[in-house]
Amino acid sequence: MISAPDRRETLQLIEDAVAAGARRAQACAELGLSLRSLQRWQHCPEDRRPSAQRAEPANKLTPQERRRVLEVANQPEFASLPPQQIVARLADQGTWLASESTFYRVLKDAEQQHPRGRSRPPVKRALTTHVADGPNQLWCWTSPGCRPRSRAVTSTGT
């Protein structure tokens, strides 16, 4: 969104350019602004989107439905399952509470969206490096089926 002071400045720049003989469409193009945006800004220089009254979606879950989703997700049989599997198992039982994405959204709002399952969370480990700063510290074996093309590559200098 463009702030109201920036809009007013842009309107003033375009009006100055038009007063100096430039075409309005060319002045808008120079600023990367469409002519329609300019007309809208001239009509109402303030941005009304942040303060707009928006109706709630008709399919929004009620607090009771959200509680029911959390209750089901926290039952022992579903506690270690991701929403994808919870919804599938409920569908197998003939029960429909909410979609998979709604399960994810409700769990996230309740701060329960974390790796659900028996697997342990990933552990960050330092990268392992192999450094040889002296003789006989780093050895490497090749499998018998993978013979090198050149003997000189694997020989020890003899």
* Residue 51 located in a structural domain: no
Is the pLDDT score of 112 beyond 70? yes
Same domain? 68 vs 103: yes
Is the pLDDT score of 117 beyond 70? no
- % of the chain with per-residue pLDDT over 70: 85
* Residue 147 located in a structural domain: no
Same domain? 74 vs 104: yes
The DSSP letter of residue 140 is -
State pLDDT tens for residues 62-103.
999 999 999 999 999 998 888 999 999 999 999 999 999 999
Same domain? 101 vs 71: yes
Cβ pair 54, 60 in contact under 8 A: no
* Residue 54 located in a structural domain: no
Does the predicted model carry a pTM greater than 0.75? no
Is the pLDDT score of 147 beyond 70? no
Tabulate helix, strand, coil % of the chain (nearest 5).
Answer: 45, 0, 55
- % of the chain with per-residue pLDDT over 90: 43
* Residue 72 located in a structural domain: yes
* Residue 18 located in a structural domain: yes
State pLDDT tens for residues 3-33.
888 888 999 999 999 999 999 999 999 989 9
Same domain? 67 vs 96: yes
Query: Domain count of the chain?
Result: 2
Same domain? 73 vs 37: no
Residue-number span of the structural domain to which 73 is assigned: 63-109
Same domain? 29 vs 67: no
* Residue 16 located in a structural domain: yes
What residues have CB less than 8 Å from 81, skipping those under 6 apart? 89, 116, 117
